[in-house]
Structure 1
Amino acid sequence: MRIAITGADGFIGRNLTVRLAEKGDADIVPILRDTPRAELGARLAGVDIVFHLAGVNRPTDPAEFATGNADFTGVLCNALAALPVPPRIVLSSSTQAALDNPYGQSKHRAEEIVEAYAKRTGAKAHVFRLTNVFGKWSRPYYNSAVATFCYNVARGLPISVNDPAAPLRLVYVDDVVEAFLALAADTAAPGGYAEVEPVYETTVGAVADLVRSFPASRETLTTPPVGTGLARALQATYLSFLEPVAFTYTVPVYSDPRGSFVEMLKTVDSGQFSYFTAYPGITRGEHYHHSKTEKFLVIKGTASFGFRQIVTGETFELIARGGEATIVETIPGWAHNVTNIGDDELVVMLWANEIFDRARPDTIAARVKP
């Protein structure tokens, strides 16, 4: 498929271009700001679909809204109409097209132009009225407040929120691209308005607070829930604004004659991750829990795990080695220990289902072999 992208070097255009290149089954034709208009016809020859993403958001002169959004759309559609087989066109519009302001008026006019193109050529026109798109490669102080928040917080700069309760509707750039790719693949899709899902309904204050929490997690070691939805997308966007020198950070190492213990990451509701080391012959643990559970994974070395049921006295022992990918779980009511029975340092990864609470540690000293 031959696919043209206007604004291919812009925020959404870059994300779409990269995804199309990953698929490897598209001939991508970029149409950039400096592409001579006289060359449009030749560049667009044989194109199957055009993603019209170029536009003007924040010009120094409001008159640029009309020239950059409506007028260029007219030039583009005239070039497409002159082709032997006029291709489908996908217009990146805005929810502001329904508003009476210069930007909205220019976007509404662009919609009318692509609709007229569809009527006179029979080609399908698809219009996405997007709202506050955010994600990697967005421009601060230009694309969205989210980009500005992420850029500033990533650099230790303050962010300003005039009304924390102000409603905010957001769509993530990856979801926009997915919708575009699905439309490109579906040649039978009817023309008209199309939508991107999900649309996140939130507030300016909630977004600002969540973005502020991301760098703080490096100090507290506690990450907010970022595995799904808006939080996942916001964290990815924030991280994309980090400068390379900020790609790493250190965490405390607690060492004693037995070895070292390092907490890597804590979660709000799913426990914490850590690792420990033990020198040859060293035994760690020798305790039990009433409710706390743990999972151990030997990364390096050879470990003996000992267990004793604290009421019945039943015992059990097993060996786990680095590279075997064997998970060993601790069981409530069973005392347990870990002994390095190898000749090298033992390294063990550990997950506990709860963050350690010094006031209620749920860790009672008890030897496996009394």
Structure 2
Amino acid sequence: MTHFAVSGSGGFLGWHTKAALHETGVTVDAVSLGDEFDAQRAVAAVDGSARAIHIAGVNRANDDEVLAGNVAFAEQFAAALRAADNPPPVVAYANSTQVGNGSVYGEAKARAAETLAAAASDIGAEFVNVSLPNLFGEHGRPFYNAVTATFCHLIANGENPTVENDKELTLLHAQNAADLLTGAARPEAQSDLEETETVTGLLGRLQRYAALYNDGEIPDVDSDFDRDLFNTYRSFTFPAQAPISLTRHADARGSFFEIIRSHGGPGQSSFSTTVPGVTRGDHFHRRKIERFTVLQGRARISLRRLFSDDVVSFEVSGDAPGAVDMPTMWAHNITNVGNDTLYTSFWTNDIFDPQNPDTIPEVV
């Protein structure tokens, strides 16, 4: 089975990289660096790998620690590359666009790149240097990873953040960054994957998403950037905002309720019946938005974040309809736990493409 060696696999970008590779069946062998560095284990992870990706870095410390830490990490990774009997043919590095801006962090990343490039040359590997701008994505760490994560956290918790230093940002979704590092996206495509926005503009977008999503409505996600940014925001509302309550109107004729209000972009609706005891789903999406709505019967909707054992479940019923939106990169399924046939509506924000289904099997 194909495997990649990845440093920093436990961090924000590392998690997204593992999730992206999970779709293709490529396994990840973690390379621990710093105080946890074990030369023998690092060499074993690198040896025979199809690609080695260096993500680990130090960006929140004093200047001396930032410089020494990033250089040391690169030296450890380079040592493992040189010691492998069967080194990888490609070495990819999560560099930064801050290189050359005069900061200590930029200098540290530049030195690390030189170290890795030299090691790649020594082992005859291609060196892929990916200069990453401001990253955003699902499950970012507020007050640490990036301003997007901080804004999402505050807005999802009912706060009203303000902008003290407005400037223009170049933004890249973490799944796109992962694709660049893994080779799924061509380096020359990076500029097409990036979006330029001011800090004020970013905050305004997120606040508009929240105003609609608080009522269960889906904002305009016609552009890939809006879809990815909305998915990022949604990750901060789950599970607190689920299920989404739907207003049921009933009289002698029967009942009526709205399933979804979408403000832009394509969409596809489906309907299923499920007999008692049967489970549907057991898959995850990297970018697709999907909503489950039980129309009749009783169901249990279960979700599990990738690489976690914790399962979140919701009991839903057509008698008190509620919708559950599937967070991206969470495995999910729905089980008929009642005695009668379960009627369920499914909505996705895109039209199903068999060549690019974004529906990856994964048992909850």
TM above 0.5, one fold? yes
Q: Percent identity?
A: 29
Query: Which of 180, 189, 204 is matched with 1:209 structurally?
Result: 204
Q: Pairwise mapping of residues 226-241 of structure 1 onto structure 2 (< 5 A)? A: 226-241=221-236
d(CA) in 2 for partners of 1:50, 1:270: 37
Aligned pair 1:8/2:9, yes or no?
Answer: yes
Cross-structure match for 2:51: 49
d(CA) in 2 for partners of 1:23, 1:127: 22
Cross-structure match for 1:250: 245
d(CA) in 2 for partners of 1:101, 1:41: 32
Cross-structure match for 1:30: 30
Secondary structure of the residue aligned to 1:162 is coil
Moved more, 11-20 or 126-135: 11-20
CA change 1:178–1:193 in 2 (3 A) is closer
Q: Pairwise mapping of residues 118-129 of structure 1 onto structure 2 (< 5 A)? A: 118-129=120-131
Q: What is the CA distance between 1:57 and its match in structure 2?
A: 1.9
Q: Pairwise mapping of residues 95-110 of structure 1 onto structure 2 (< 5 A)? A: 95-110=97-112
Cα contact 1:53–1:91 (8 A) shared by 2: yes
Query: Which of 115, 129, 144 is matched with 1:142 structurally?
Result: 144
Deviation string 1:323-370 (CA, Å, 9 cap, x unpaired) is: xxxxxxxxxxxxxxxxxxxxxxxx9x9xxxxxxxxxxxxxxxxxxxxx
CA change 1:47–1:273 in 2 (3 A) is closer
Secondary structure of the residue aligned to 1:244 is coil
TM-score by length of 2: 0.65
Cross-structure match for 1:284: none
Q: What is the CA distance between 1:155 and its match in structure 2?
A: 1.6
Deviation string 1:138-192 (CA, Å, 9 cap, x unpaired) is: 211111111111111112233221245x2111011121222233359xxxx9xx9
Moved more, 113-122 or 6-15: 113-122
d(CA) in 2 for partners of 1:134, 1:118: 29
Cα contact 2:8–2:32 (8 A) shared by 1: yes
Q: What is the CA distance between 1:27 and its match in structure 2?
A: 4.0
Query: Which of 151, 156, 159 is matched with 2:158 structurally?
Result: 156
CA change 1:193–1:65 in 2 (3 A) is farther
CA change 1:103–1:270 in 2 (3 A) is closer
Q: Pairwise mapping of residues 289-308 of structure 1 onto structure 2 (< 5 A)? A: none
Cα contact 1:175–1:196 (8 A) shared by 2: no
Aligned pair 1:170/2:171, yes or no?
Answer: yes
Cα contact 1:152–1:159 (8 A) shared by 2: yes
CA change 1:147–1:243 in 2 (3 A) is same
Cross-structure match for 1:296: none
Q: What is the CA distance between 1:113 and its match in structure 2?
A: 1.2
Secondary structure of the residue aligned to 1:110 is helix
The alignment of Structure 1 onto Structure 2 pairs a total of residues equal to: 271
Q: What is the CA distance between 1:194 and its match in structure 2?
A: 8.5
CA change 1:78–1:270 in 2 (3 A) is closer
Q: What is the CA distance between 1:233 and its match in structure 2?
A: 0.6
Deviation string 1:5-58 (CA, Å, 9 cap, x unpaired) is: 00011111112112323322x342111356433332344332332110101122
Amino acid at match of 1:103: Y
Cα contact 2:37–2:76 (8 A) shared by 1: no
Unaligned runs of 5+ in 2: 270-294, 297-342, 346-364
Cα contact 1:6–1:30 (8 A) shared by 2: yes
d(CA) in 2 for partners of 1:168, 1:108: 21
Cross-structure match for 1:90: 92
Q: Pairwise mapping of residues 183-194 of structure 1 onto structure 2 (< 5 A)? A: none
TM-score by length of 1: 0.65
d(CA) in 2 for partners of 1:221, 1:244: 14
Unaligned runs of 5+ in 1: 275-298, 301-346, 350-370
Cα contact 2:7–2:55 (8 A) shared by 1: yes
Higher normalized contact order (CA 8 Å, seq sep 6+, divided by chain length):
2
Cross-structure match for 1:116: 118
Secondary structure of the residue aligned to 1:136 is coil
Cross-structure match for 1:72: 73
Query: Which of 120, 131, 134 is matched with 1:132 structurally?
Result: 134
Cα contact 1:263–1:273 (8 A) shared by 2: no
Amino acid at match of 2:49: V
Q: What is the CA distance between 1:203 and its match in structure 2?
A: 1.3
Cross-structure match for 1:357: none
Cα contact 1:94–1:128 (8 A) shared by 2: yes
Q: Pairwise mapping of residues 261-300 of structure 1 onto structure 2 (< 5 A)? A: 261-268=256-263
Secondary structure of the residue aligned to 1:55 is coil
d(CA) in 1 for partners of 2:132, 2:45: 27
Secondary structure of the residue aligned to 2:84 is coil
